A = this chain, B = another copy of it.
Amino acid sequence: MSVQASAALFRPVRAGNAFEETVERLLQAVRLGVVEAGGRLPPERELSERLGVSRVTVREAIRALSDAGYVESRRGRYGGTFVNAVLPPKPAGDGVIDAEELQDVLCLRHVLETGTAEQAAMRSLMPDERRHLKDALTEASVADLDDYRRRDARLHLAIAESSGSTSLTSAVADVRMRVDALLDRIPLLQPNLDHSNTQHATIVDAILGGDPATARQAMAEHTEGTASLLRGFLR
């Protein structure tokens, strides 16, 4: 039995307790911009059902996010839990980063993102999917430094959705959270942002034009850009 394979298979069955995992999932929705600023989360009862977790646990998780300044709850009909316009700054984290973790997440991201771009370009997208992609691209292109991370994530998720595989979309969201945790430790510069926007346009054009090879290639260059940024700053 290979030691690496067994390490991959005998990893922990759960990343944390129900509360922690629920917090993490809701954080994904907020941080990746799936629920936009000012937007409302699904009602607690619905979240409870969809996340497969008791409502008590959902409430505790929401309470934690509320205390941290991410969301705010309002009672009464037409109430709910709303995403704050301005998100709290994230803790810088410890300076040391595991080189193996970096290699792992960057490799995974490369595979997933180039794969979604290619798959998206291979499908014949519905009109609403095409519009959704274009909208996400536009919103990312006009974002300022503060909003950029969320809108960028939202665009990459839109591309993943265009692949037509929910499992792929989930995987992209998960790896994006890991990448974001790393990106929090390096500065975001305007030139990088401009360059990203150009690449985004190329990728979306290729997808909408049904050109898988170009979509993959463009996405590869795009992820390689942030990858080398991370490698440079963290090593």
Which residues from chain A sit less than 8 Å from chain B, CB to CB?
Answer: 1-2, 4-14, 18, 21-22, 25, 28-29, 32, 34-36, 39, 42, 47, 50-53, 103-105, 107-108, 110-112, 114-116, 118-119, 132, 157-158, 160-161, 163-171, 173, 175
Contacts and interface: CB of A to CB of B under 8 A. Distances in A.
A108 B1 contact: no
A36 B111 contact: no
A134 to B, nearest CB: 13
A157 B5 CA distance: 7
A175 B52 CA distance: 22
Contacts of A5: 34, 157-158, 161, 169, 173
Q: Is the interface of A mostly helix, strand, loop or mixed?
A: helix
A12 B36 CA distance: 21
**3 A-B pairs with least C-beta separation:** A111-B115, A12-B52, A8-B169
B22 A9 contact: no
Contacts of A39: 1
Given A7-B166, A165-B104, A21 B13 contact: yes
Nearest to A10: B50
A192 to B, nearest CB: 24
A108 B2 contact: no
